[in-house]
Structure 1
């Protein structure tokens, strides 16, 4: 985790905050639908679900792990935004963020293991999931979901995710243990 400033006294502690990692901006990345359509994978049942069956525009940096896993670094950035405008209610925004946080959180461990969502025999499940909200954010505006694998072994994986606003402010943190089994 990266931090702004140094802590030298009680007043300075208020300024201690994580800095968003540097990933490509959402406007420079293909949507899931564009990525899959370019590979003729969007017409399969899985491709249709990944590209059009969700309520969120999802853009990966580096490339998604839907059908291949060419990069096996245990980290990624995912830009996420609801397709439709959501009510201004803060609770609704948190609920939407809670819902979408589970879509891609296992992917850093899949990358590290050289797997992708289309790997034959792949079985995944969320086992334990926690989320902390640090400040209000809109799920219908672009949020960077910076994710990393803390480790994967014995069919289990631990992943950490941090949501940042486009301005770089940390708005939520996610920790998830998941099952990843590959036959």
Structure 2
């Protein structure tokens, strides 16, 4: 099962104190999927923190394309352990070069003031087409998406880019239900790492929709540049989460996208922001 492969992918080998190695994924991509390296880096950071301190934010920079044929080595720097918060910095390397850096902060559970945005009014995931049904009539898009890892079940609320391009540019949010494609162990850190992995999926759809283009159909070069996640409330990544994303700006060959994750009963559990390189060749 694909989700079992994802769990193994996130189960790092410890080489030395604060030094870990991540397995390579089975993929035909020419570079490592951004969600993989971010998720593995968060695992490495979490291995050096007391279990009672839960991750509440991460900020990552994608510096070089990862080589999918090789494992990735993660070096953790224990920046600080305070009374409530712990900070870690992780450097991911291949070929003796840095490919990704991550800063993550962990916190003891605490009470405080609370508010959140309203969840969008959308159909429930069971009523929506599967990803296979979505690209059944789009062989070019199907080939592009089948080349990637597929441990996450996706149900688009709005048309995905390869269908949206038939209708031209669309201003507004892009929303998709997602969950791990199988049951996960009861480990909050693992669920945070799986959400981190999944948060790099579909996020730039909201940028593409504004211009009526789609990868695998149009001649587009795309790559994640930086990625930030804030974990706000408890959740399970193997239960349906609505990922509502939007793009406020694109310029200079880059597109900015933000997103929020909601449980199906309307609880906001995480927020995401990413800037990606998007080059459309004419």
The list of structure 1 runs, each at least 4 consecutive aligned residues, that deviate by more than 4 angstroms after superposition, is: none
CA RMSD of aligned residues (A): 2.0
**Is residue 60 from structure 1 mapped to residue 156 from structure 2 by the alignment?**
yes
1:107 is the counterpart of 2:205: yes
**TM-score w.r.t. length of structure 1:** 0.84
Give the match for residue 8 of structure 1: none
Name the CA distance, whole Å, in 1 between partners of 2:141 and 2:251.
33
| 1:10 equivalent in structure 2 | none
Structure 2: where are the runs of 5+ without partners?
1-111
Question: Is contact 2:254-2:278 (8 Å) kept?
Answer: yes
Given the superposition, is the C-alpha separation of residues 158 and 42 from structure 1 closer, same or farther in structure 2, using an over 3 Å criterion? Answer: closer
Counterpart of 2:130 in structure 1 is 31
Partners of 1:42 and 1:30 in 2: CA distance: 18
- The alpha-carbon deviation at position 68 of structure 1 amounts to 4.7
Q: Distance in 2 between matches of 1:25 and 1:42?
A: 28
TM-score by length of structure 2 reads 0.56
49 and 28 in structure 1: CA distance in 2 versus 1, 3 angstrom threshold: farther
What stretches of structure 1 of length at least 5 have no aligned partner? 1-12
Aligned residues: 168
Q: Is the 8 A contact 2:224 2:276 kept in 1?
A: yes
Change (3 A) 1:148 1:163: same
Select which of 213, 225, 236 maps to 1:127.
225
Distance 1:40 1:120, change over 3 A: closer
The question of whether the paired residues in 1 share the 8 Å contact of 2:143 and 2:216 is answered with no
- Aligned position for 2:117: 18
**In the alignment, is residue 87 of structure 1 matched against residue 87 of structure 2?**
no
Do the aligned partners of 1:67 and 1:117 also contact (CA within 8 Å) in 2?
A: no
Cα deviation digits, residues 19-46 of structure 1 (max 9, x gap) = 1111221111101112112x15289532
Structure with the higher strand share, 1 or 2: 2
Structure possessing the higher radius of gyration over alpha carbons: 2
| Secondary structure of 1:147 counterpart | strand
